[in-house]
Amino acid sequence: MKARIALVLGSVSAALVALIIASPRVIAADKIDPAADAKAFQNFFFQKFPDVKREDFVNGPYSMNADMKRQWQEKEEFPPYEFALDAGKEMFATPFRNGKSYADCFPNGGIGIRQNYPYFDEKEGKVVTLELALNRCREANGEQPYSYVKDEMASLTAYMAFTSRGKPMDIRIPDDPRALAAFENGKRYFYTRRGQMNFSCASCHVQSPGERIRAEILAPALGILNAMPIYRSEWSGMGTTSRRFVTCNSQTRAVPLEPQADEYRDVEYFLSYVANGLPISGPGARP
Amino acid sequence: MASSIRVRAISNGDITEVQTLIQHPMDTGLVKDAKGELIPAHFIQQLTFECNGKDVFVADWGTAISKDPYVKFSFKGARKGDDLKISWTDNKGGSDTITAKIA
Amino acid sequence: MKRSLPLAMLLALSLAPAASAANEADYKAAYTAAEAASREAAGMRNQWTVTVSALAAAKRAADGGDFDRATTAAKEAEALAKASIFQAMSEKEAWKAMEIR
């Protein structure tokens, strides 16, 4: 730590050289092995929290705190996301001006498929998220795209998540070097420190789940996207996965990337894949 | 148009348990919109639950109540099948009402 | 706990010598340097919010004629931008230390 302080006050290049020499153990990843990564990821949390039932991890902070869980279960009798859910159902069923509808863009008419997103599109060579697919569906049918962070996008994804509730997350990584690279990129993004606060996603969600950051109890990273989209009391409204990535960035004082930036798509891919097998619990309610 | 009031009233012996979720912006009048202009205050001022001709719960609300408020309470003296009438009025002259059967 | 970076920033700023009255030329030089570093950080997709606000504060102060404050803010913005560049560079390898294996 002392070395680091001295280095920052010195020149950047000298610091860089010194850091590389003094760097912590660096293990080169020769072969990208998502299955091994997922197994290690899940085992880490299962071992760290042996009293938490595996399916319960998808309930975020509620799996970490009994009192919060009780309050949440009471609220689930009459959840705050009900209005968005109903709005989403109606929106989903309403045809576009050209007569087509969302059902025409998705397998199985868009019902009960949320657990397959994101997927790797081999034609495009990139990760496609549910939010991205919905806006592409709109644009392909002559409609304006929605904002990625809230309102209509949140309502639509809430409905689609609801039709998949209980189904296990089921993300595929084809044996394609681009897909493997996307997975690895997402993993790298997850563990990289950013912002003036110098936090990575892992700083909070791997190192400190169940502990507090200010007044909030931190959720474990395992299954953290399974409840998306969420009604957050902090937002007094719904927010999508995009919204959460953007706000997490700014909370660590990093300027956020654009919603659906490659890094965000890839980290969603990574986080969803390592939660394979855990149930979809969305839409969710969070503090 | 769908009601802004969702209600679930369950009879449990002598006690009726009521839960309500009301869709309302509950704007405080202190928040600015994207253009930098204040969003005018728009909030429920009175919420009333009436059963068998009597008021069983009356709330006088102001701007401190959150958006889409949720209320939960219990009261005595009603039975399964009785009507529970819920109404609210807001500071802009808006209102809504719904009647639900106690289950 | 890797608190070194923000701690280092705090230290660097508090140890900075008090600037004697700065003029517009000083400010312009400081702002140019800060802007360049900020652009580099943005190019690495690792811009800090505080860098952006420090730069904006510098410009605002200069527009108001307060070149002392403007120069200080510009220098702070440059330091922040450089720290974010350092972070991006070191994290290229350092992230692996946090990975669950």
Least confident of A30-34, A171-175, A241-245, B55-59: A30-34
Number of structural domains chain A divides into: 2
Is some CB atom of chain A closer than 8 A to the CB atom of C17? no
A204-239 burial by CB neighbour count: b if 16+ within 10 A, else e? Answer: bbbeebeeeeeeebbbbbbbbbbbbbbbbeebebbb
Using CA coordinates, name the residue in chain C closest to A41.
Answer: C100
Instruction: Using an 8 Å CB-CB cutoff, list chain A residues near C15.
Output: 9
Q: Is the pLDDT confidence value at B2 over 90? A: no
Task: Calculate how close chain B gets to A176, using CA atoms only, in Å.
Answer: 44
Type and span of the H or E element at C4: helix C4-15
Same domain, A130 and A229: yes
Q: What is the distance between the alpha carbons of residues C90 and C65, in angstroms, rounded to a whole number?
A: 38
Percent of chain B with pLDDT over 70: 99
pLDDT at C12: 56
Same domain, A148 and A100: yes
Q: Is C9 on the interface with A (CB under 8 A)?
A: yes
* pLDDT on residue A75: 86
pLDDT confidence band for A15 (50 / 70 / 90): low
- Residue C46: its chain A contacts at CB < 8 A? 194, 254
Coil, strand or helix at A246 = helix
A248 is catalytic: yes
| Chain B positions touching chain A (beta carbons under 8 Å) | 2, 6, 8, 19-21, 23, 66-68, 70, 72
Asked if B touches C (at least 3 Cβ pairs < 8 angstroms), the answer reads no
Measured between beta carbons, which residues in chain A are less than 8 angstroms from residue C94?
A: 23-24, 193
Same domain, A13 and A39: no
Closest residue in C to A1 (Cα–Cα): C4
Nearest CA in chain A to C81: A196
Kindly list the distances between the CA atom of residue B74 and the CA atoms of A164, A206, B18, B70, C25, in Å, as whole numbers in the listed order. Answer: 34, 42, 6, 14, 72
pLDDT band of residue A236 (cuts 50, 70, 90) is confident
Token duo for residue A155: 């309502």
Judgement on whether residues A49 and A11 belong to the same structural domain of the protein: no
Domain membership of residue A5 as a residue range: 1-30
Q: Decide if pLDDT at B3 tops 90.
A: no
CA distance C38 to chain A (A): 12
pLDDT at A277 over 80: yes
Chain C residue whose CA is closest to A191: C95
* Calpha distance A188→A171 (Å, rounded): 18
Among A74, A82, A237, the residue with its CB nearest the CB of B6 is A82
C-alpha triplet B10, B19, B41: angle, nearest 5°: 155
Residues A221-233 have a mean pLDDT of 97
Substitution target in C48, C78, C92 with the highest count of A β-carbons within 10 Å is C48
| Residue B9 DSSP class | E
Radius of gyration of chain A (CA): 20
Name the more confident of A4 and A144: A144
Exactly one of A105, A137, A201, A248 is catalytic; which is it? A248
B37-73 per-position pLDDT tens digit? 999 999 999 999 999 989 999 999 999 999 999 999 9
Q: Give the type of residue at A81.
A: Y
Strand pairing category for A230-232 and A284-286: parallel
Distance of CA C55 to the CA centre of its chain: 8
Chain B nearest-CA residue for A75: B70
Task: Determine the pLDDT at residue A74.
Answer: 87
> Does residue A275 share a domain with residue A156?
yes
Contacts of B21 in chain A (CB under 8 A): 78, 80, 82-83
Complex confidence, ipTM: 0.84
Q: What Å distances lie between residue A84 and A6, A102, A145, A230, C33, CA to CA?
A: 52, 17, 18, 10, 48
Q: What pLDDT shows up at residue C75?
A: 97
Report the alpha-carbon distance of residue B82 to residue B85 in Å, rounded: 10
Mean pLDDT of A98-113: 97
Backbone angles phi, psi at C66, to 5 degrees: -90, 85
Distance CA C47, CA A196 (A): 9
Give the domain ranges of chain B: 5-29+38-101
- Answer with the residue of higher pLDDT: A229 or B34: A229
Average pLDDT, chain A: 92
Q: Do A16 and C45 touch (CB under 8 A)?
A: no
Q: Which tokens sit at A249?
A: 């960035």
The whole-number pLDDT of residue A7 equals 53
C3 touches chain A (CB under 8 A): yes
- CATH number, domain with residue A243: 1.10.760.10
Q: Which two tokens stand for residue A247?
A: 């706000």
pLDDT of residue C27: 95
Lateral strand order in the sheet of B83-90:
B54-60, B44-51, B83-90, B95-101
Q: How confident is the model at residue A21 (pLDDT cuts 50, 70, 90)?
A: low
Contact A28, C89 (CB under 8 A): no
Element (H, E) at A132: helix A130-140
Which amino acid is present at A249? Answer: N
**CA distance linking residue B74 with residue B14, whole number of Å:** 10
| Cα–Cα dist C70/C24, whole Å | 9
Residue-level pLDDT at A101: 97
pLDDT at A6 over 70: no
Residues with Cβ within 8 Å of C88's Cβ and at least 6 positions away in sequence, in order, are: C41, C44, C45, C46
A26 lies in the same domain as A58: no
Q: What is the CA radius of gyration of chain C?
A: 15
Residues of C in contact with A191 (CB under 8 A): 95-96, 98-99
pLDDT, tens only, C41-66? 999 999 999 999 999 999 999 999 99
Phi first, then psi, for residue B51 (nearest 5°) are: -140, 130
Question: In the A/C pair of chains, how many CB contacts fall below 8 A?
Answer: 99
Residue A50 or residue C6, greater confidence: A50
The answer to whether C47 and C4 are in contact (CB under 8 A) is no
Q: What is the rounded distance in angstroms from the CA atom of residue A152 to the CA atom of residue A197?
A: 32
pLDDT of residue C84: 98
Q: Are residues A26 and A39 in the same domain?
A: no
Averaged pLDDT, C71-100: 97
Q: Which of C42, C31, C26 is nearest to C73 (CA)?
A: C31
The DSSP symbol for A76 reads: T
pLDDT at A10 over 90: no
Statement to judge: residues A61 and A20 lie in one domain:
no
Per the CB < 8 A criterion, the answer to whether A271 and A225 are in contact is yes
Given this model, what pLDDT does residue C3 score? Answer: 56
pLDDT band at A77 (very low <50, low <70, confident <90, very high): confident
Asked if the Cβ–Cβ distance from C86 to A29 is below 8 Å, we say: no
Task: Give A9's contacts in chain C (Cβ within 8 Å).
Answer: 8, 11-12, 15
Q: What is the pLDDT of residue C4?
A: 59
Structure tokens belonging to residue A23: 């760097």
A115 close to A167: Cβ distance less than 8 angstroms: yes
pLDDT-based confidence at residue A100 (cuts at 50, 70, 90): very high
Q: A192 forms bridges with which residues in the sheet?
A: none
Instruction: Looking at the structure, tell me whether residues A101 and A26 fall in a common domain.
Output: no
CB A44 within 8 A of CB C100: yes
CB of B49 closer than 8 Å to CB of B84 = yes
User: Do A191 and C98 count as a contact with CB atoms less than 8 A apart?
Assistant: yes
User: Looking at the structure, do residues A7 and A131 belong to the same domain, yes or no?
Assistant: no
A265 and A189: one domain? Answer: yes
Q: Which residues contact A194 (CB under 8 A, 6 or more apart)?
A: A200, A249, A252, A254, C46, C87, C91
Strand B5-12: give its sheet, edge to edge: B5-12, B15-22, B70-76
- Is the pTM here over 0.90, yes or no? no
Nearest CA-CA partner of B26 in B63, B51, B77, B76: B63
**DSSP designation for B41:** P
Identify whether residues A6 and A103 lie together within a single domain.
Answer: no
Residue-wise pLDDT for A50-76, tens only, equals 999 999 999 999 999 999 999 999 889
Domain B5-29+38-101 belongs to what architecture?
Answer: Sandwich (2.60)
